[in-house]
């Protein structure tokens, strides 16, 4: 079983040019998966990733704004520590990211609105997400409400001393369209329980933990909606405009999976290393997740 360390050792060294060389790479957050990706890039620069918590989050902001606020918080911490000053010649890149999930909900006035979903506290919270999709679709006759949106935002800020040299930010959206029959079943207590049982098993499995990532739980997943388990369930119809039967669906699923779990855009990571996209593309952890998701679907909702 490959570990994250073995992946580092296997990946060919790619040395950045002097113009892009960074003295310090700082991750502003606490996600193990984001930290793993940035550690991989830091190693390519011959650096050790520095981690600074991103501070409290304002859920009224969009993901890019939250990523920027995390960097602001880390910058304040560095200044308090005396590591950022006008006289400093240290070139550092600070990187942050955030992911939000939006799904429809039928309001008391009968109108459907998009709701940003936080991390669920109990089974009923997840069932409410599926019921919001079903109720919105039934009330409007619009099947597009059988689905949800992933919004991934990230930002990198390159600084020398206390001067900001460059800011790069990006937002990526993935619309996940679900099968009507699947949502109708998932919106029931039996369907939600079956889905959550699958999700709990997956988050403790060797597939999920195979590359140095710790076990997790549904309470750590936005809205409780996990792409890989939903696809394994046979619930996904298409991602953006790519249908599950299309030749390029696996590639779209891989991109959406990386966005949902990590949130970094390659243009943001290229501020750390100009070949960031090529370096992180073969990350075995995401490949293992997609292989699991593409396995034979259960489709128990059809039984």
Residues 6+ apart with CB under 8 A from 134: 146, 183, 184, 187
pLDDT score of 212 = 75
Between CA 174 and CA 186 the distance in angstroms is 21
DSSP code string of 154-185: EEEEEEETTEEEEEEEEEEEEEEEE-HHHHHH
The model carries a pTM of 0.88
pLDDT score of 215 = 86
pLDDT in tens, the chain (303 residues): 333 333 333 333 434 444 457 999 999 999 999 999 999 999 988 999 999 998 888 888 999 999 999 999 999 999 999 999 898 899 999 999 999 999 999 888 888 999 999 899 999 999 999 999 999 999 999 999 999 999 999 999 999 999 999 999 999 999 999 999 999 999 999 999 999 999 999 999 999 987 778 889 999 999 999 999 999 999 999 999 999 999 999 999 999 999 999 999 999 999 889 999 998 887 888 989 999 998 876 666 555
Between CA 119 and CA 3 the distance in angstroms is 28
Per-domain residue ranges of the chain = 4-302
Residue whose pair of structure tokens reads 């296997």 in the numeric block: 10
Take residue 233 and report the two structure tokens written for it.
């369930």
Task: Give the CA count within 13 Å in the CB-facing half-sphere of 155.
Answer: 19
How, if at all, do strands 163-178 and 147-160 pair? antiparallel
Residues 6+ apart with CB under 8 A from 163: 86
Q: Which of 94, 26, 84, 31 is nearest to 57 (CA)?
A: 31
Q: How many CB atoms lie within 10 A of CB 59?
A: 9
Residue whose pair of structure tokens reads 């206390």 in the numeric block: 162
Domain 4-302 in this protein, CATH class: alpha beta
Long-range (24+ apart) CB contacts under 8 A made by 71-80 are: 71/28, 71/95, 71/96, 71/155, 71/157, 73/28, 74/26, 74/28, 75/157, 75/159, 77/52, 78/26, 78/52, 79/162
pLDDT score of 59 = 82
Between CA 257 and CA 135 the distance in angstroms is 27
């Amino acid at each position: 079983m490959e570990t994250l360390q073995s992946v580092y050792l296997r990946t060919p060294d790619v040395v950045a040019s002097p113009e892009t060389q960074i003295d310090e790479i700082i991750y502003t957050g606490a996600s193990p998966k984001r930290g793993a990706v940035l550690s991989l890039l830091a190693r390519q620069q011959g650096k050790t990733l520095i981690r600074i918590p991103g501070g409290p989050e304002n859920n009224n902001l969009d993901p890019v704004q939250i990523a920027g606020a995390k960097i602001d918080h880390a910058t304040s911490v560095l200044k308090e520590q005396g590591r950022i000053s006008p006289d400093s010649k240290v070139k550092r890149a600070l990187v942050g990211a955030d992911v939000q999930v939006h799904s429809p909900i039928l309001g008391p006035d009968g109108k459907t609105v998009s709701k940003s979903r936080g991390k669920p506290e109990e089974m009923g919270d997840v069932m409410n997400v599926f019921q919001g999709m079903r109720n919105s679709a039934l009330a409007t006759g619009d099947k597009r409400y059988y689905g949800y949106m992933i919004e991934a935002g990230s930002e990198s800020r390159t600084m020398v001393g206390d001067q900001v040299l460059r800011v790069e930010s990006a937002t990526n959206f993935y619309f996940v369209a679900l099968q009507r029959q699947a949502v109708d079943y998932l919106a029931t207590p039996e369907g939600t329980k079956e889905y959550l049982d699958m999700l709990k098993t997956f988050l403790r499995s060797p597939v999920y933990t195979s590359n140095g990532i710790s076990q997790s739980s549904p309470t750590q997943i936005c809205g409780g909606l996990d792409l890989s388990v939903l696809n394994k369930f046979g619930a996904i119809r298409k991602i953006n405009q790519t249908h599950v039967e299309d030749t390029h669906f696996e590639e779209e699923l891989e991109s959406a999976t990386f966005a949902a779990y990590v949130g970094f855009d390659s243009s943001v990571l290229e501020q750390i290393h100009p070949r960031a996209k090529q370096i992180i593309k073969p990350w075995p952890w995401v490949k293992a997740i997609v292989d699991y998701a593409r396995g034979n679907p259960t489709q128990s909702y059809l039984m």
